[in-house]
Structure formats: C-alpha cells, structure tokens
A and B are shown apart, each in its own frame.
Chain A
Amino acid sequence: AQSVTQLDSHVSVSEGTPVLLRCNYSSSYSPSLFWYVQHPNKGLQLLLKYTSAATLVKGINGFEAEFKKSETSFHLTKPSAHMSDAAEYFCVVSGPYTGGFKTIFGAGTRLFVKA
C-alpha cells in the first residue's frame, strides 16, 4: 500500500528566506517520488523527481529535495524564496500495484511569500 502525507496545509515565508515543504510517504516498494507546483488556474508543472538514483535531487527554479529512506521523507527546500514561488505544491508517490502503477497525490501545501 502507498500513501503520501504533506505535513503542512500552508506555509508562509518572507521573500529571501528559506523554504521547507514537508512530505512523508509510505510504500511497500521502492517508490518514485515527485514534487509538482501549480500556480493559480494553471496545470501542474514537474519540479523534480526521485527514481532511486542520487538521494539529493535538484529541480527547476532552485528547488531541491532529499530522499531519506530511514525517515520516509522527501522534503522540498529552496535557500531563498521569491515572490513567484507562491503557489500550491504537491508531493506525489508512484509505484507498482496490482495491474500496473498507482500515482498518489498529497493534499497539497500552499506556499505564501511575503514581500
């Protein structure tokens, strides 16, 4: 069975300060993990992906995430927030299940960036 939990429904940071969006997962298999970003009234854009290569994954727009198997976590970070980072962020786990693959979305974390 697979599940994904985003620990914060919303996070507020000031521009120029670090961003931390937390994600924990549960999977019976070695999962693939993703972070997507969704700006208002837009589709989802892939930020980064983990597929069992390096545990520290770098994505677009200065974001990165570290896969920690012992903690079953895949937290998203950015050293310095920008106003344009304000959006909804989804942590996604994907892995095999009977009949194919299952992709499960976390509930989302809304990131607010204050000037």
Chain B
Amino acid sequence: DTEVTQTPKHLVMGMTNKKSLKCEQHMGHRAMYWYKQKAKKPPELMFVYSYEKLSINESVPSRFSPECPNSSLLNLHLHALQPEDSALYLCASSQGSTARTDPDPRFKNIQYFGAGTRLSVL
C-alpha cells in the first residue's frame, strides 16, 4: 500500500477564512512534505517534517502554518490567504528522514504523493 490520502479534494475560501488541509499516510513513513503546484509548473516544496519535527521551511509566508500531530498525519492551516495562493497543494511522504546520517538514505528518499487539494482563494 503506497497510499497518501488528502482531504478535501477541492476547497474554495475567502481571504478572511481559516481552513485546514489534511494529509494522512499509514505506511510507517517518517518524513512528510507539503508542495504547492501552480498550473503548468512543477511542484514547489513548502515544508518538510522529519520524525514529526519541522526540518525544512522554504521561506513560506506565515499565512501557511504546518502541523504534524503524529507520524501519520500532516496538516496545513490556512489563514488570510491571497488569490495568488490558489493552486494544487500536494502532500507526499517518504520512508526515511531527511537526515544526512540516515543509513542507505537513497532508498528511503522515494516520495509518494497524494492526489492533492485544489484550492481556490476568492
């Protein structure tokens, strides 16, 4: 089973709303990722959690707030978004951490993606 589940599939929100995106995996993966993908572009990394701790924040605005309550679950809290934040938000997980000292890290770095949440900010 290589399934990463994202909810909701679609979300429309106003600029003053607060909403959350949810991502879940039950593969025992210890690294989880949020990506943002605009139309006709590759995914852009936003955040990486490794062993439930935030290890990478790619200078994402504070209106995006990630949370990793446990090893299977990753949330992205949204507040005061702008229309330009409309995009497909993808979650991914991988077996290993991003730690350089992780043994045989290459095999553990394979990322499995969810289907994404299509977000529209009005």
Interface residues of A (CB under 8 A from B): 32, 34, 36, 41-46, 49, 51-52, 90, 94, 96, 99-101, 103, 105-108
Q: Which B residues lie within 8 Å of A34 (CB)? A: 110
Main secondary structure of the interface of A (DSSP, over half): strand
CB-CB under 8 A from A44, the residues of chain B are 43, 90, 92, 113
With A100-B56, A107-B42 known as contacts, the answer to whether A42 contacts B115 (CB < 8 A) is yes
Q: Are B114 and A43 in contact (CB under 8 A)?
A: yes
Within 8 Å CB of B116, what residues of A?
41-43
B100:A43 contact, CB within 8 angstroms:
no
Q: Return chain A residues, CB-CB under 8 Å to B4.
A: 43
Give A18 Cβ to nearest chain B Cβ, in Å: 25
Q: Are B112 and A41 in contact (CB under 8 A)?
A: no
Report yes or no: A43 in contact with B115, Cβ–Cβ below 8 A. Answer: yes
Q: Majority SS of interface residues in chain B? A: mixed
Residues of chain B whose beta carbon lies under 8 Å from any beta carbon of chain A: 2, 4, 6, 40-43, 45, 48, 50, 55-56, 88, 90, 92, 97-100, 105-107, 109-116, 118
What CA separation (Å) do A100 and B6 show in the bound complex? 25
- CB pair A94–B113 under 8 Å, yes or no, is no
Q: Which residue of B lies closest to A106 (CB)?
A: B42
Is the beta-carbon distance between B115 and A100 smaller than 8 angstroms? no
**Which residue in chain A gives the minimum CB-CB distance to B45?**
A103
A41 to B116, CA, bound (A): 8
In the complex, what's the smallest C-beta–C-beta distance from B9 to chain A, in angstroms? 9
Are B55 and A52 in touch, CB under 8 angstroms?
no
CB <8 Å contact, B55 and A99: yes
Nearest chain B CB to A76 CB, angstrom units: 15
Contact for B105 among A43, A96, A107, CB less than 8 A: A96
Given contacts A41-B118, A43-B115, A90-B42, could you give 4 more A-B pairs where the C-beta distance is less than 8 Å?
A: A42-B115, A44-B113, A101-B100, A103-B109
Q: Are B106 and A105 in contact (CB under 8 A)?
A: no
| A36 surroundings in chain B (CB, below 8 A) | 113
